[in-house]
Chains A and B, each alone.
Chain A
Amino acid sequence: MSSKESCRNELRTAIRQLSDRCLYSASKWAAEQLVGIEQDPAKFTPSNTRFQRGSSSIRRRFRTNEINSTPPTGVAYVSTPVMEEDEAIHGDFYLLAKSYFDCREYRRAAHVLRDQTGKKSVFLRCYALYLAGEKRKEEETIELEGPLGKSDAVNRELVSVERELSTLSKNNMIDPFGLYLYGLVLKEKGNENLARKVLVESVNSYPWNWSAWSELQSLCTTVDILNSLNLSNHWMKEFFLASVYQELRMHNEALSKYENLQGTFTFSNYLQAQIGKTQYSLREFDQVEVIFEDLLRNDPYRVEDMDTYSNVLYTKEYFSALSYLAHRVIMTDKYRPESCCIIGNYYSLKGLHEKSVMYFRRALKLNKKYLSAWTLMGHEYVEMKNTPAAVDAYRRAVDINPRDYRAWYGLGQAYEMIGMPHYALHYFQKSVFFQPIDSRLWIAMAQCYESEQLHMLEEAIKCYKRAANCNDTEAIALHRLAELHRELGQPEEAAFYYKKDLERMEAEEREGPNTVEALTFLATHYKTQKRFEEAEVYCTRLLDYTGPERETAKSLLRGMRIAQSGFPSMDVEHFHP
């Protein structure tokens, strides 16, 4: 990776250029990363580094292996020349246009620049037009809303903007920012392939525009597409790849990329939040909690990504922490989908499902495509036993993103709840298709197969086997496997799984009725197999427990002794009640 200093310089220039072109979110992102680069403590006074006090001990504690900040060898990063600034002549008009733009008077800004031909002016004019169209589109959507849903409001500027940009790009008169806008427009018009190509061109010639990268990321829906992209190596590409991996559920790859990046951008809040989110997907809740606590300490007014934090708090049932978070975000910005989602989560945890649904609804009003809100709302409706509404909510989630396995799972559950296991199977199959490593999904599907109506035990066994193979934390699968095999009269297999279950329980130092059941079965099984030694071991272990099993164990032992001592085989068990 390039040295920290060069990164810093690149970013500084980029921020100026980006904000000069009114690409504010990209410049915000760049600035965040800029500050995230670790300062050389030797050069700076404490007051300078105070901003970075986030280098707290907590975070260090969880970074068990010190990350190697050197890049993998053999990767040569291209150094992209920083662009030259042009257009001093028409600078005045540009300044006016930019001021209008900053006041959100987009059409006015575009009008000021109507005769300007410099690349920068052209970009800003097109961008302003595009945004004006977007704004109008939003308004129209509300104006034209009918009972059948939103009407087909379109950005009316798209066509003209596209026409202009495509002519420019044909004549090779377009700069990377223009390309970014062109890509954006193409994407909106549904021309994804060309959009991808244009965006790649844009990021290759100007890599610091994070907006372009994220547009590109949203167009990379499969690994194949990602691999087909011809991206030149730049450290920004690492950010991009990490984010794509995250989206494609390649969590471990994403995590390693992010941690690698942290070598340079040690204090980047963005990176921290992304790592938190990835860890969340990996279900490492403890770590996520620590990460987000730390993040909030550094950036107390952050709302982005806080819904993930609230999910963790929800899972861990931290009532007060969740309420504190909700309070905090609502003071910061009430009308953010994330804020509403957090409040929804809080109410859900409190068991106030109606209120929770209300807040999820609000979140969805703010962002109709807010995936997790749909899914969470579905959960709430399930709690409220309102199956049709739950089904509807889940279905919207999967229609927004068909890879959302949780919503598929929710659909399955909802249908199972109303006694339609066969119908539910379809959804469970979908969910395991998209997330084959989650044992809970497999178990749910297995239970569906097991249900009284279907009673397809063979299939259930297959599912449990898959579940057992993917780190079944609740240890349901092994136990059920054993039981099913026993029910199906396959004692060998049953014994195998009981044994495995037993081993697992030992390893986790758990004990319970399952232990007793396993021990009893194994003891009897080995006894019938005439493998008395093993049977004896289990019997003796059974003796440690109270209850009827203890008696059974005793009688078993007795029986075995009799059998071993050469007496005519007589089943002692029979004489016991």
Chain B
Amino acid sequence: MAGVVKAPAPGAFAITPHKVSLCILVHTYASPSQISVPFPFSSVSQHNRLGLYLLALTKSCDDILEPKLDQLINQLREIGGLLDDWLTDHVTSRLSSLSAPDDLFNFFNELRETLGGPDSGVMDDDQVILDPNSNLGMFLRRCILAFNLLTFEGICHLLTNIGIYCKEAISSSSYEHRLDDSGNDLESLSEYENMDLNLVFKKINEEMEARKKATEQVSFHLHLPKDLSTLVEDVEVFADPKPEHNEKGGESSSYASGDLLRDVDPDGGVFLRTNWQIQGYLMEQADAIEKHGSSFTFNAFELTLRQLQKLAPEFHRVHFLRYLNNLYHDEYFSALENLHRYFDYSAGTEGFDFVPPAGSNDFGRFEIALLCLGMMQFHFGHPKRALEVLTEAVLVSQQQCNDTCLAYTLAAICNLLSEIGFSTTSGILGSPFSPMTNVGTSLSVQQQLFVLLNGSLKKAESLKLKQLIAANNLAMAKFGLTHVQRPLLSFGPKISMKLRTCPIVVCKELRSGYHLISDFCCEGSTMTTDGAFSTAWLKNLQKPMGSLVMSQDNGSGNNSNPFLFFTQPSSIPGSVLQLVGSSYLHRATAWEMYGSAPLARVNALVYATCFADASSSSDAVVVHVKLIQHLAAFKGYKEAFAALKIAEEKFLCASKSRILILKLQLLHERALHRGHLKLAQQVCDELGVLASSVTSVDLELKTEASLRHARTLLAAKQFSQAAAVAHSLFCMCYKFNLQVENATVLLLLAEIHMKSGNAVVGLPYALASLSYCQSFNLDLLKASATLTLAELWLSLGSNHSKTALTLLHGAFPMILGHGGLELCARAYITEAKCYLSDPSFSVSDNPELVLDPLRQAADELQALEYHELMAEAFYLMAIVYGKLGQLQQREEAASSFKNHIVALDHPHDADDPFLS
């Protein structure tokens, strides 16, 4: 009922049909001139129950998604018990009796009688009179006031709306019908309500929070940090298991918004309530989109947005949501269009709570548009264009003195640089950066990245942008993980060159990343950085903070219980949690690289269990991938494939890409082990196709694909080709500074040469790989390089078996402690071979020294179905048994050997559900 109050006025509250029915209920609850337990109620507790329920309802009144009448009736049914029929009848009959404006006038007059006078201290004990200052009393007063402020036209509209409200409830089948339309089943009803209530109550909290904050300066852009944090982790978007609550929320709102948005007060005042609420709703949706990626239903949400836009054409945030929706569904052109539209309309100032005061309003904040555009281009795989745009963003931010945006832009650039391996940035990163780097553009990309990272971190620190700091810390850790820090200056007093990566630095960075969470805990409410509007509060209501009521309710499945309103949410915004979570993910990766399998697994598990709620689906996929890889390496393929199946179901549809890649990897490995080379090649080709995707070039995937190609060739004994592939791969990795991959490729080259019988040529490669591993602290890889080295020595002749054995024993702790099945088995076999080829070693003296490792190896290889190595193990065993004269065992070993050789020669894909 606009038009009514133009000035900031108490009118930040509009009377709606739902509120009218609440008033009816309150009136019933506290009907004047009745005895202590008024008419319809049979007991005090019944009376109180209704009171509590009303209290909850009045608190939730400011939500944009007001419940419909039939929902209200449903809730009443649960609360009212025996009174249920009477109450519903009362409400509906009362509502439908309102047929003329005068009825409304009378009704509100009646309401006024319910309230006691301002000084009704003296109260008759038997009489129920609402204290005007109580919650319910306030509510009534607000309703009455809002009604009195209505113009006559407003009253007419209210009347019409009440009519619609009633009609909808009467034909409540229409509601079901709608649900059917949107492809939902009726069961979702309760779920939806639950969601609705959750939403409601979250909003109340936020709003209170936000009100406190409204006068203080709050910070930056709402969506940026989230975008960033997702980008920090990875660019791809993955799906979440079940597209549940949120999209239903989306859909439900599309029904609700139809007439509710009209009803909900459109009036301004200081807080712009409606605006506020829709913002909240949209923010939540934005989070949901981000979280669920492409599994978020595109069309339903688009529909909602379209409707919102129709209802509130001046509400531009809708365009941004549309952009997000398109972005995550890979609709390039409409995403671009909507991004531009949003920033054209909002000039970058809407939703940005922190607008520098110094007259900058005149110019708008278009640099933010650039920042978003850059990130979008990046998302769609146009890194070069993205860099151009971001460069412009840097320039404009500098011109406009928007340091916050500058910090974010720098972080975005860092992210871009670290994600996409540019061989060179000269010409792209031009002059605008020179003031920052002061060292010209002669630096390598990595060095530039380092400088930028530092700059960004400093900026973020000086501006106290906590999330950005955390994100930067993560980026730093990531950088520290894979890059040697070299001095930036090529002249002057040289600092002693440290040619190793520094795990301590990485650890420090990771740790400082999640100091953030403690900041949030102690600062509590002051930390609304990005959350002034955000509704992305923690959803861990069941966790310690959540009350008992909640969990009980969940148990009984009674989801629509209004007592939910009283539970307290944790005050940590989802984006922060996401950041903290991704620091665990980083840890897992770091440990993976440093070679501690258990620690990597533990961190991944921590992430999967503690941050599953807050994580974006992409992160969740990454964790699953890590865990499954771990399974495959330590438990064999059977379990890995079983887990993969679960993961596949969990991350349905859409961007299975990551899962798909994992599947291909596993299939490839297994095919190699089984000696099924044709299949291996086929899988490898598929991987190659994925790597040459049109959307963007994923270097990691590319190296992976060609690494596997080389492996396949090696297994097929096409040594020269394998060597050629590996060589070109090494060149590429070197060019793009992929250090870890460098080490791996070198190791592979060594292996190729060894297998081709050219151990002497292999040696330098193995040594080079070793030195790489050393400088990057890749302990596990180093152990396996040592193993290869030992094998090389061994193949140089029996007189080197001592050297080999020493090397091997040196690496044993690492291998046995952290290595996977294959590595251990290889080590065991090599050990046995060392002993056997040692002329001074006699089998008959100490047969267990050889037999034990061989048996171990055979056991471990069983899970991997690694026929080739198994055959080798059994062959050696047979020889040993032969020498020992244990004929029966020899025969057994020999027949096993034969079996494996046969299996190797005639690979058959045994019942493989994964082969498509």
Contact B315 A149 (CB under 8 A): yes
The residues of A with any CB-CB pair to B shorter than 8 Å are 140, 142-152, 385-388, 391-392, 394-395, 399, 411, 415, 418-423, 426-427, 453-454
Given contacts A386-B362, A387-B364, A395-B341, contact A423 B392 (CB under 8 A): yes
The closest CB in chain A to the CB of B311 belongs to A152
> Closest approach, in angstroms, between the C-beta of B370 and any C-beta of chain A?
6
Contact A388 B370 (CB under 8 A): no
Contact B347 A391 (CB under 8 A): yes
| Alpha-carbon separation in the docked complex, A422 to B373 (Å) | 10
| Alpha-carbon separation in the docked complex, A494 to B363 (Å) | 40
Given contacts A151-B266, A392-B347, A395-B345, contact A418 B396 (CB under 8 A): yes
Question: How does the 8 Å CB contact mask read for B144-158 relative to A, with 1 for contact and 0 for none?
Answer: 000000010110010
Contact B3 A147 (CB under 8 A): no
Cβ-neighbour of A143 out of B3, B362, B373 (below 8 A): B3
Question: Is B612 an interface residue, CB under 8 A from the partner?
Answer: no
Contact A144 B336 (CB under 8 A): no
Q: Which residues of A contact B313 (CB under 8 A)?
A: 148-150
Contact B341 A419 (CB under 8 A): no
Question: How does the 8 Å CB contact mask read for B139-178 relative to A, with 1 for contact and 0 for none?
Answer: 0000000000001011001000000000000000000000
Given contacts A152-B310, A420-B392, contact A146 B341 (CB under 8 A): no
Contact B262 A151 (CB under 8 A): yes
Question: Is B275 an interface residue, CB under 8 A from the partner?
Answer: yes
Contact A422 B392 (CB under 8 A): yes
Q: Which residues of B contact A149 (CB under 8 A)?
A: 312-315
Q: Which residues of B contact A453 (CB under 8 A)?
A: 391-392, 395
Given contacts A387-B363, A411-B344, A422-B392, contact A147 B154 (CB under 8 A): no
Cβ-neighbour of A142 out of B3, B362, B395 (below 8 A): B3
Q: Which residues of B contact A386 (CB under 8 A)?
A: 362
Q: Which residues of B contact A385 (CB under 8 A)?
A: 362
Q: Which residues of A contact B389 (CB under 8 A)?
A: 422-423
Contact A423 B369 (CB under 8 A): yes
Given contacts A143-B2, A418-B366, A420-B370, contact A148 B312 (CB under 8 A): yes
List CB contacts (< 8 Å) of B375-422 with chain A: 388-389, 391-392, 395-396, 399
Name the residue among A146, A395, A415, A420 with the largest chain B CB count within 10 angstroms: A146
Q: Which residues of B contact A151 (CB under 8 A)?
A: 2, 261-262, 266, 311-312
In the A-B complex, the 4 residue pairs with the smallest Cβ-Cβ separation, listed nearest first, are A146-B266, A148-B312, A149-B314, A388-B347
Contact B3 A391 (CB under 8 A): no
Question: Is B267 an interface residue, CB under 8 A from the partner?
Answer: yes
Contact A148 B275 (CB under 8 A): yes
Question: Is B285 an interface residue, CB under 8 A from the partner?
Answer: no
> Closest approach, in angstroms, between the C-beta of A334 and any C-beta of chain B?
25
| Alpha-carbon separation in the docked complex, A144 to B274 (Å) | 14
The closest CB in chain B to the CB of A385 belongs to B362
> Closest approach, in angstroms, between the C-beta of A417 and any C-beta of chain B?
10
Given contacts A149-B314, A453-B392, 10 further A-B contacts (CB under 8 A): A143-B3, A143-B157, A144-B262, A152-B310, A391-B344, A394-B344, A418-B363, A423-B369, A427-B340, A453-B391
Q: Which residues of B contact A148 (CB under 8 A)?
A: 266, 274-275, 278, 311-315
Contact A422 B388 (CB under 8 A): yes
Q: Which secondary structure characterizes the binding site on chain B?
A: helix
Name the residue among A143, A147, A385, A391 with the largest chain B CB count within 10 angstroms: A147
Question: Is B272 an interface residue, CB under 8 A from the partner?
Answer: yes
Question: Is B268 an interface residue, CB under 8 A from the partner?
Answer: yes
> Closest approach, in angstroms, between the C-beta of B642 and any C-beta of chain A?
49
| Alpha-carbon separation in the docked complex, A108 to B399 (Å) | 64
| Alpha-carbon separation in the docked complex, A411 to B364 (Å) | 14
| Alpha-carbon separation in the docked complex, A420 to B347 (Å) | 13
Contact A419 B345 (CB under 8 A): no
Q: Which residues of B contact A387 (CB under 8 A)?
A: 347, 363-364, 366
Contact B274 A146 (CB under 8 A): yes
Given contacts A148-B275, A395-B344, contact A388 B363 (CB under 8 A): yes
Q: Which residues of B contact A144 (CB under 8 A)?
A: 1-3, 157, 262, 266
Q: Which residues of A contact B347 (CB under 8 A)?
A: 387-388, 391-392
| Alpha-carbon separation in the docked complex, A85 to B909 (Å) | 85
Q: Which residues of A contact B314 (CB under 8 A)?
A: 147-149
Contact B3 A145 (CB under 8 A): yes
The closest CB in chain A to the CB of B373 belongs to A423
Question: Is B349 an interface residue, CB under 8 A from the partner?
Answer: yes
The closest CB in chain A to the CB of B262 belongs to A151
| Alpha-carbon separation in the docked complex, A188 to B396 (Å) | 44
Contact B336 A426 (CB under 8 A): yes
Contact A423 B3 (CB under 8 A): no
Contact A146 B364 (CB under 8 A): no
Given contacts A395-B345, A422-B388, A453-B392, contact A146 B366 (CB under 8 A): no
Contact A391 B364 (CB under 8 A): yes
Q: Which residues of A contact B275 (CB under 8 A)?
A: 147-148
Contact A399 B315 (CB under 8 A): no
| Alpha-carbon separation in the docked complex, A387 to B392 (Å) | 18
List CB contacts (< 8 Å) of B255-303 with chain A: 261-262, 266-268, 272, 274-275, 278
> Closest approach, in angstroms, between the C-beta of B312 and any C-beta of chain A?
3
> Closest approach, in angstroms, between the C-beta of B253 and any C-beta of chain A?
15
Contact A419 B310 (CB under 8 A): no
Question: How does the 8 Å CB contact mask read for B817-844 relative to A, with 1 for contact and 0 for none?
Answer: 0000000000000000000000000000
Name the residue among A143, A394, A427, A454 with the largest chain B CB count within 10 angstroms: A143
Can you spell out 14 A-B residue pairs with CB atoms less than 8 angstroms apart? Answer: A144-B262, A144-B266, A146-B312, A147-B2, A152-B310, A388-B347, A388-B349, A419-B399, A422-B389, A422-B392, A423-B369, A423-B373, A423-B389, A453-B392
List CB contacts (< 8 Å) of B788-819 with chain A: none
Contact A147 B267 (CB under 8 A): yes
Name the residue among A149, A394, A399 with the largest chain B CB count within 10 angstroms: A149
List CB contacts (< 8 Å) of B724-763 with chain A: none
Contact B344 A392 (CB under 8 A): yes
Q: Which residues of A contact B388 (CB under 8 A)?
A: 422, 454
> Closest approach, in angstroms, between the C-beta of A159 and any C-beta of chain B?
14
Question: How does the 8 Å CB contact mask read for B1-31 relative to A, with 1 for contact and 0 for none?
Answer: 1110000000000000000000000000000
| Alpha-carbon separation in the docked complex, A453 to B398 (Å) | 14
| Alpha-carbon separation in the docked complex, A140 to B274 (Å) | 20
Q: Which residues of B contact A146 (CB under 8 A)?
A: 2, 266-267, 274, 312
| Alpha-carbon separation in the docked complex, A521 to B107 (Å) | 91
The closest CB in chain B to the CB of A415 belongs to B366
Q: Which residues of A contact B278 (CB under 8 A)?
A: 148
Q: Which residues of B contact A418 (CB under 8 A)?
A: 363-364, 366, 396
The closest CB in chain B to the CB of A422 belongs to B392
The closest CB in chain A to the CB of B278 belongs to A148
Q: Which residues of A contact B268 (CB under 8 A)?
A: 147
Q: Which residues of A contact B349 (CB under 8 A)?
A: 388
| Alpha-carbon separation in the docked complex, A146 to B369 (Å) | 27
List CB contacts (< 8 Å) of B328-366 with chain A: 336, 340-341, 344-345, 347, 349, 362-364, 366
| Alpha-carbon separation in the docked complex, A486 to B363 (Å) | 37
| Alpha-carbon separation in the docked complex, A411 to B340 (Å) | 10
Name the residue among B151, B313, B341 with the largest chain A CB count within 10 angstroms: B313
Q: Which residues of A contact B341 (CB under 8 A)?
A: 395, 399
| Alpha-carbon separation in the docked complex, A427 to B396 (Å) | 18
